[in-house]
Each structure stands twice: as structure tokens, then as C-alpha cells.
Copies of this chain bind each other. A is one copy, B any other.
Amino acid sequence: MPVDTIAVQGKHITLIDQTKLPTEVTYIPIHTIGEMWEAIKVLRVRGAPAIGIAAAYGLYLGIKDSPAATFDDFWNDVKTASDYLASSRPTAVNLFWALERVETCVQGHANLPIPELKERIFDEAALIHREDDDICRALGTVGAELIQDGDGLLTHCNAGGLATSKYGTALAPMFIAHEQGKNIHVFADETRPLLQGARLTAWELNEAGIPVTLICDNMAATVMRQGKVQAVIVGTDRTAANGDVANKIGTYGVAVLAKEHGIPFYVAAPMSSIDMSLSDGSQIPIEERDAQEITHGFGRQTAPDGVNVYNPAFDVTPHAYVTGLITEKGMVYPPFDVNLQKRLG
């Protein structure tokens, strides 16, 4: 079983401190909205779905002891708590989405007594949590059909359970296949510069008892040529209407290598990541990040002073390299422009 990023027992909330991974596995209890704000701020909890879930529970913690006796007073407290949490990571879309969803729930039950309204807020957070769980599990069940007993799989970066409620996206088919009793072996690209594959994916799979081999990104071609990889499964940050896929830098290279070796290349794409307003991947802006991530990555300088560096955070894999999109509603195959429209319709 994958690890619970956010565990809830009764109304007690516990997070895995992702800043300590992979060398220390620390579970931190979160008792107050301030503790949740800090956990989101310093990336103890990270990954878009996980941040949304954390924020929703944080909002509950922020109002559970509110002394308000009227709805107007209570609403003020809700807004204060929500604005405070929103300030923890101002660019995280899921954070705002989750806070707004809880606010909408509160507005929709303005007639309830305050104590019951507080319960509704907790329930809404738990619903957001469970829905994410359901989506990842459904996606994983769809993707597990692609995996045969004995398969070698390769993934890049971390689209794992740590970023979501539990199963993740790209890793969900692996967790489910493992639960189904299939023997699988996963090659995890370390994923320079930030090593999410080494720090998070290798850790998650190890914890779940799934055999994993860590490789440097530049070794993927060799393990493919050796016949050790039967399928590639990666995540996506954003997928365009034509099936072009934006994901962590290096994904495109893996797709080219998979094609050359006749290996299917699957993208775990929850419906929420598919943006039909983008006709193709050229419209997806690519963030360039600080040179120091490459030149001073892990505690010491490994490149000359002042060297010119190119550090794009993402790349776009053209749809021609994508064998299929794994969604929670089923597989989507080419032609993606037609079949994504059908799936959404």
C-alpha cells in the first residue's frame, strides 16, 4: 500500500514531513491553522492535490474553536482563516480551489447552527480528500490493465502518492498492479536537477514494497535497450486538447527513447489536468528556474563560477509520442483531439 501523505484519524490530522525525505521519515501532527500554514509554506506538504486537501483541513482547524454566535460573525472568521491560508503559497491553484470550495459549502448552509456548520466544513475537507483518493484509485485501476505480470516500468520525476491523497497519478497504476499481485519492477529516473525521482519516487515505491531501481536520467536509454522496460508511465502538469503533454523536464527525451525502442509511452492524466482551452502544447508557458539548482544543487558548487545555464522546469512532449492517456474515466487513445472531446462530452 502507498503511504498516506495526509492521514486523518477522527479529526486528528497528521502529515508526512516531505522536507525530511528520504533520509528521515517524520510524521507531524497538525493541531492548528498556524501549523498547517507553516507546513504548506515550507513544503512539508507539496503537490497540487495534496496542498488543496491540506488547505481544506487547515480551514477547519482555523474555525473549529470560533466563538461566533451568528452566521455573519462566523463567516468573518471563515474568511480570515481562508485568506491566511491562501497566503501560504500564493501561486498554488489547488489551494485557492479547495478554499473556495469550502467557502461555497459554508454559504450554502448559512441556515445551520454554527456547531453543525463546523462539522460541515470538516466533512467538505474529508470529501475533497476522498474524491482525490477516488480519482487516483480509478486512474490507477485503468492504468493497471496496461501492466502485465513481470513487466519492467520506467517513470520520470514524482507523480506519486506524496503529491496527492495516496495513490498519485503515474504511480497509481503501479500501486494497483502490485495490489493485484502482479510482479513489477520500476526504474525511477533520478530527475535532475531537483532529484524528485531519487528523493520521493524511489522512497515511495520502496515503502510500498515495490521493487525499484534508481538510475540517472542518462541511463534510461541503456535499460530500455537491455529490454528491461515494457512500458513508460509519467505524470503531467497540463495536457492540451490535441494530447501534447507538459511535464517535468526530461519527459520529452524519455518519450523519444521509448519510441525508438518500441516501448509504449503512457501519461497518467487526471481529467483536471486536461486543458481543452489550449489547442496544442506550444501555448503552455515553460518556467525557467534558477541556475543555482544546477550549479549548486546539493550542498556544494559543481560548475564554474558564472557559467551560462539553461534550466527549463518543464518540457512539452508532442502527442505523436504519446501511446495513450490514462484518466480516471478510462483510457484515451489517438486521435486525441477527437477522443478527448468525446471523453469530456
Contact = CB atoms under 8 A, between A and B. Distances in A.
A23 to B, nearest CB: 5
A74 B140 CA distance: 76
B214 A217 contact: no
A331 to B, nearest CB: 26
Contacts of A225: 252
A297 B297 CA distance: 10
B218 A217 contact: yes
A214 B295 contact: yes
Interface string A287-318: 00000001101111111111111111001000
Interface string A72-108: 0000000000000000000000000000000000000
Secondary structure type dominating chain A contacts:
mixed
B202 A189 contact: no
Contact of A253 (B253, B301, B302): B253
Interface size class of A (residues with CB under 8 A): 35 or more
Contacts of A22: 301-305, 307
Contact of A202 (B192, B254, B307): B307
B304 A249 contact: no
Nearest to A215: B310
Interface in A224-258: 225, 249-250, 252-254, 256-257
Interface of A: 21-23, 156, 187, 189-193, 195, 198-199, 202-203, 206, 211-223, 225, 249-250, 252-254, 256-257, 259-260, 294-295, 297-312, 315
12 contacts: A21-B304, A23-B301, A195-B302, A195-B303, A199-B302, A202-B304, A212-B308, A218-B253, A219-B311, A221-B250, A253-B257, A256-B257
Given A156-B218, A222-B315, 4 more contacts: A203-B307, A212-B307, A215-B311, A222-B253
